[in-house]
Amino acid sequence: MRKEATLSQHRQENVYLAIQAVQQEGPFSVQLLCEIAGIPRSSYYKWLNRKPSSRELENQHLMDVMTALYEKVGGIYGYRRLTLHMRRQTEQQINHKRIRRLMKLKGIQSVIRRKRKRYARSAPQQVAENLLNRQFHAEAPNEKWVTDVTELKYGSAQKAYLSAILDLHDNTIVSYVLGHSNNNSLVFQTVKLALQAAPGSTPMLHSDRGFQYTSLRFKTLFADKLTQSMSRVGRCIDNGPMEAFWGNLKCERYYLHTYSTFEELKKDIDAYIYFYNNERLQAKLNGLSPMEFRTKAA
């Protein structure tokens, strides 16, 4: 019975907090909001004029921290990632359900991801087996890489292409190149930069069956430096981690801005990938950023 009474009290407090938040940010009277909520106005004012409990003061502090962090990253974090950052910032073991509840009270939510466009693939000159086979865990850095190219736009429907390589051990973006054309040079340069950043390594490189990866030139250049693996036809999930990174980049940065020039786009891509590698905490990396996890492993 005591537990049920405590839950009822928390629910009532949430109603009062919601009325307070809506009334402060919109042209709504307290009387109207109380009528909608089905509570007496006197009860709301009694609650409003009471001495705040320690729980309420703690919630207010958490909402201040949450709002500042949410605004700092442009609203790209949902409750799970906000929880990770807030745990580090406050040095408290905060439950993610509590942050989700506080986000609802503040009326904030993360940006919504758009669906990815699908493109036809050209006939391959050579293909590799799906050696990765959705085994997305790697025991050490530079053991398994995934890669892909995505299309971005700027100016008056002008196109740019971003090629990147992601390490499955720590989700670090090992290398990337933004170019004006989706061609062999774009992909070859990305692979060369990754190999330069990891001297002495011979990773597995998993890709889709794009023409750059299936070209005989690619095999000639890199056959003795890496082992190729390729997704099955029409199975985007075979390259799931790379698809997930494109989704994060577009949802958290690209879709939130417009770019007049290639230089503006490149500056924002550079900034996001630095943020992703060094500051964006990930639950599956024990609450660390990719570079923190990579450095710790080293």
* pLDDT on residue 218: 93
Element (H, E) at 189: helix 184-197
What are the structure tokens assigned to 77, written together? Answer: 């974090």
Helical segments of 73-140, H only: 79-90, 96-106
Res 115: pLDDT: 54
Say what the pLDDT of residue 59 is.
Answer: 84
The CA-atom distances, in angstroms, between 212 and each of 172, 191, 221, 240 are 22, 11, 12, 19
| Residuewise pLDDT in 10s, the chain (298 residues) | 455 555 566 677 778 888 887 777 777 788 888 888 888 888 888 888 887 778 878 888 888 888 888 888 888 888 888 889 989 988 889 998 888 888 887 777 887 655 555 545 556 778 889 999 999 999 999 999 999 999 999 998 899 999 999 999 999 999 999 999 999 999 999 999 999 999 999 999 999 988 899 999 999 999 999 999 999 887 888 999 999 999 999 999 999 999 999 999 999 999 999 999 999 999 999 999 999 999 987 7
The predicted pLDDT at position 280 comes to 94
Q: What is the largest CA-CA distance in the chain?
A: 80
Q: In angstroms, rounded to a whole number, what is the distance separating the alpha carbons of residues 39 and 61?
A: 27
Own/partner pairs, 102-107, CB within 8 angstroms, 24+ separation: 102/59, 102/62, 102/63, 102/66, 103/66, 103/79, 105/14, 105/17, 105/18, 105/21, 105/63, 106/21, 106/63, 106/66, 106/67, 107/21, 107/22, 107/25
DSSP conformation letters of 203-251: -EEEE---TTTTSHHHHHHHTTT-EEEEPPTT-GGGGHHHHHHHHHHHH
Rounded mean pLDDT of the chain? 87
Task: For the sheet with 204-207, list strands across it.
Answer: 173-179, 158-167, 144-154, 204-207, 227-230
Q: Report the alpha-carbon distance of residue 41 to residue 119 in Å, rounded.
A: 58
The percent of residues in the chain predicted with pLDDT above 70, rounded, is: 92
Q: How far apart are CA 273 and CA 270, in angstroms?
A: 5
Three-state DSSP class for 137?
A: coil
